[in-house]
Amino acid sequence: MCVPGGGTEAGAGPLNRPTAGAPGRPTAGGKLLAVLDAFSRDRPALTLSQIARAVDLPVSTAHRLVAELAAWGGLERDTDGRYRIGLRVFELGALAPRGLGLREAALPFMEDLYEVTHENVQLAVRDHDEVVFVERFAARDAVTVLTRVGGRFAMPPTGVGLVLLAHAPLDVQERVLAAPLTRFTAHTITDPRRLRRILADVRRTGLAVSDRQVTDDAVSVAAPVTAGDTVVAALSVVVRGTSAAAVRGVTPTVRAAARGISRLLNPPG
């Protein structure tokens, strides 16, 4: 049975995620955004006092902001008094062109890819210096991946991330490669010079393979999805394996599916 949901080749919390507001005294709008930004995958439900501490505001000010967001539908209060992100934010998020439109184009191909492989099938986009997963399918007996829809992760260790980083602007590539690179397994590549060579190969071949870089038993292969001349997303399949050869059988199918999505995003005429 196919189960949508879940999300990144290894779900970690925010890395270089931009924070709300600008340096200096925050504006009223910046404070509201800061309240929303206090919530994360690891902190999906917060009390009023936790929100106040997270955004460094008096409880009275946080109470006013939370009340405004709740009245608008951006926050919802549980029976235990804790707050969660509200459906209004979900509704707005669905309007993001890199989310809904891309997802709608990709879903038929992802479903076909899942039916052929019965493995983890993932679709991701780049947001600043991170990968954001916008859709995922997985079988119960597929290799475990610590990912979820809407989850963020570093680009260098993941197949989709390597594709997106290879086609990112040069300043993004340099910033990512200059930052400390986290080692997740003994196979994680943390040498910037080696990563530069890999990114060049990804641009040349149109494919990226992540060989046990996030977990010791998972290998992924990813291909770019384009709109015009721009790589807007990456599609991957993650399988259980102990070498890059594990994805050899699914590689042509992943490439074909990514090209199919790209054709829908690039109608003739």
Rounded average pLDDT over 219-236: 93
The rounded mean pLDDT for the chain is: 84
Rounded average pLDDT over 18-26: 50
The whole-number pLDDT of residue 111 equals 93
The whole-number pLDDT of residue 97 equals 55
How far apart, in whole angstroms, are the C-alpha atoms of residue 171 and residue 194?
18
The whole-number pLDDT of residue 28 equals 79
Q: Domains for the chain: give ranges and CATH numbers.
A: 28-93 (1.10.10.10), 97-265 (3.30.450.40)
- pLDDT at 105 exceeding the cut of 60: yes
The whole-number pLDDT of residue 184 equals 94
pLDDT tens for 115-127 read 999 999 999 999 8
Higher-confidence residue of 95 and 263: namely 263
How far apart, in whole angstroms, are the C-alpha atoms of residue 67 and residue 62?
8
**Confidence band of 246 (pLDDT split at 50, 70, 90):** very high
The whole-number pLDDT of residue 98 equals 52
Query: How would DSSP label each residue in 50-81?
Result: HHHHHHT--HHHHHHHHHHHHHHTSEEE-TTS
How far apart, in whole angstroms, are the C-alpha atoms of residue 116 and residue 33?
42
Prediction pTM value: 0.69
The whole-number pLDDT of residue 259 equals 94
Higher-confidence residue of 187 and 5: namely 187
Rounded average pLDDT over 232-252: 94
Residue with tokens 């993004």: 172
Q: Which of 12-26, 111-125, 134-148 is least confident? A: 12-26
- pLDDT at 229 exceeding the cut of 90: no
- pLDDT at 89 exceeding the cut of 90: no
Classified as helix, coil or strand, 254 is helix
The whole-number pLDDT of residue 161 equals 96
How much helix, strand and coil, in percent to the nearest 5, is found in the chain? 40, 20, 40
